[in-house]
Amino acid sequence: MLDKLNELTKIAKKNVLIVDDDNEMITLLKNLLINNAYLVDTAKSLSEALSILLKKIPDIIILDVMLPDGNGIDICRQIRSQHNIPIIMLTAIDSDTKKILSYEFGACQYITKPFNAEVLLAQIKSALRTYSVDYKDASNKRYIHFENLVLDFFDRVLIDQNGISIELSNSEYDLLKILIENNRNIISRDDVTRAIYNREYDGCDRAVDVVIGRLRKKVEKDTANPKIIKTIHGVGYIMVADVHYSDTILRQNTYDENKS
């Protein structure tokens, strides 16, 4: 009976693949994850990681950006093209360019060394929860949760953490919907202009900037330092947030518990 219970417990645990060439970092991460009931595999190079992936698919990957046999961002794109696995990029370099590339190529989170252990654990839980959603059925869900906000697809209204409705103009709603549907992917000004205004971007039209600014006032805590909707100068925009689809509107205390 005890053996059976142990086997069931093992099956229920999530498996994490750590890809890093720093022995101390591997030991730190491995001990942290094992102590929090995760199963752990490790690789010190991209080739070793790919070899492991041929035999076993983990539930999540923690991937260093700089490895002895290549760039983690490139392998992130390769893995995400073949497997629907959440990937957390881990790096000692805090670079906005690398962050954007990581998100564009499929990473779900980006953490800079040295990191807070509790933050990393929370990011792992969040990523696993997000990727457990059946996105094929997402179009049938009424509510989209991101950060401390909820978008009601049916009533086309934004709801804050206190349950207060925030009215959206048609262009603001359309823009937010596009950003959510392309979450963690860069969308160009051309794409936004065509989707919202049904016209080509002429290189001078500032209408998109205006609606981006109005939307940020409704979703960002600090519009001068946006955390959800970022501008990629000369390219377009990207939304960086954990997105959760649901048939029910969760109260804030429940939502916070789920994120912990």
> What is residue 250's predicted lDDT score, i.e. its pLDDT?
60
Spell out, as residue ranges, where the chain has pLDDT lower than 70. Answer: 1-12, 81, 93-108, 130-139, 202-205, 250-260
Max Cα-Cα span within the chain = 71
Question: What dihedral do alpha carbons 92, 97, 102, 103 form, nearest 10°?
Answer: 130
- Give the residue extent of every domain in the chain: 2-131, 136-259
> What is residue 116's predicted lDDT score, i.e. its pLDDT?
86
* C-alpha to C-alpha distance for 165 and 187, rounded to whole angstroms: 27
User: How much is the pTM?
Assistant: 0.51
> What is residue 183's predicted lDDT score, i.e. its pLDDT?
78
> What is residue 128's predicted lDDT score, i.e. its pLDDT?
80
Quick one: CATH architecture of 2-131?
A: 3-Layer(aba) Sandwich (3.40)
Tell me, yes or no, if the two domains 2-131 and 136-259 fold the same way.
no
Task: Say how many Å lie between the first and final Cα of the chain, rounded.
Answer: 32
Task: Name the class of domain 136-259.
Answer: mainly alpha
> What is residue 217's predicted lDDT score, i.e. its pLDDT?
95
- Stated as kind and residue range, the H or E segment containing 111 is strand 109-112
> What is residue 18's predicted lDDT score, i.e. its pLDDT?
95
Burial class (CB in 10 A: 0-12, 13-18, 19+), 219: buried
* C-alpha to C-alpha distance for 139 and 112, rounded to whole angstroms: 34
> What is residue 8's predicted lDDT score, i.e. its pLDDT?
32
> What is residue 149's predicted lDDT score, i.e. its pLDDT?
92
Tokens of 124: 């792992």
